[in-house]
Structure 1
């Protein structure tokens, strides 16, 4: 494995690592809460030279509630403030100022409250509750230097600002996700309209044959009873009416999608070799099983899927070698297209081409998958029922 391949593997592993799950894990909150508590005891013991039960209790109230800050953030903030006041009451006032774990616990708990409330509520909470509380503390404990409540106010303001920034980023990501979902749905609807137009041509041909044969039957079959002639006439009439309804439906689809009428004959797998020759790269075609005529809808969809796979390979993996496998099974046509390119991007969420291929396969009652290949690259696998 060369250096480029190793770096690509490491990059994929980092991309697959869900840091958000780790950061938001309850176990991490437990570790941080216990760690802050032990650090607070160490700092207090080093400064005072001794610890009593009230100081240990106050340190616990100021730090250990961090474990539950995501579940009951308001209660945790209240307990943290109570613990900080206890440290001021039962120890040297400067101890509170020197205890970084208390700062960390208070700021993290306040950040969680800010994060879980609306933008207006968080800043209202800061201005109406937190700032007056710090002023009361400063007036109640004259030995506390003015720098202490000011530093707390600055730290909590920073926490509110960071929560506001993260909230804004979350809103932007949500808006982007909603917009992407709308684009996907629009692409899917457009592709369904295109599929419907092509299926119309397939079905219209068959219905036209039914109508023609039903009309010709009384002339080619001699001595038909009158009821049979009437039945053939009704079949021909129904076929013509059905054909007319389909054409009207097709007109609505074309009007909605703005598509122009295409008069060229619909392609099928008989043209797949021509398609591969026009790809302009290395393509291996493997036919498994005995080739046989397929229903026109299956034939057309298979051709479109191979066509889209080759187009994707040209766009996203230029120069890559592509292998196309068509496996004729008793009741299924299996299509497998793979390349040895860089594979899907870590943030890939499915393009319009993949949407179209999936829609075609599902419309025929088949299945479709698109993923990284077992040896790298990109792999598309589809199955189209033939009966």
Structure 2
């Protein structure tokens, strides 16, 4: 029944209604003071009552459109019962119909639309028919004025329906605009939530990649250091140094990711193709031999999103080879075509765990490839396990390195 308004809106409506009443009330407008039969002038309190009802309807139009429409109809009925002529404050009905269409419930809006046509008919009948009936001369009959009476009724009805309908239509337009604004706001909120969820998913994937790879390197180095501690102390010391470096690098990455979780705007530097050499060095430091083939060295620099995807997929694929491989050589190949980049990592698998479809590693690599429009394939071929990823290159920035084939 009552809508929620701000204090400023409520005060504005009340003050506006009071000002309208003070300006157009019969108390202040002397032309609306009726002459009594004795010739003296006095205030017609029925007109004052109607003006109070119309002003009240105007003041309540936004707080309660249903109540405002009811009060306006009560005022109109009282005005007709007392046979009062049109009053300036009757224009408040336009504001009530506007608010009915703009802020009312579906039922109230339907009642407002009905009021447009019923009101126009009532106005035409009250004004025209009453004026003609009470204005007939003694020699005239109703048949004498039927034709002009019909014309005046039609014209008055059309004018009234136009004015009332225009007010209602403007209210419908206002409601449509408010609905569009609310839809845009909800869409913005939904986009923000979706972007936040995507950001958190990306960060979670990065966290998995960083932690899984770093822990795999640390575990391999720790096992090697434990076995070599007695016979080869220098090897153990080197392994411990690698552990410390890997742990510090992982800690820095984790801190960066946690910072992004706290502040979504805090974007740090992301890995690129240039960081692959450091990744290879970490894996070699864990005791795994790598054969790397880049064919050819790219003439162009792929987009940052593609570089990040290649780095993270390579990181996870090498982590799988480190954890599930038999310790033999791991073959890594990168093929740069003007239209696509193909990454392949192949190693001899000691167990079938690497192909477990429920593992987060394969899921993360598949998602990484899909995000940049690529394809992902992981399969066993005999005793070997291979990961193949193909990523299309749609945006490139030229660089000056010559095209050569590098084999390490």
TM-score normalised by L of structure 1: 0.47
Larger Rg: 2
| Larger proportion of helix | 1
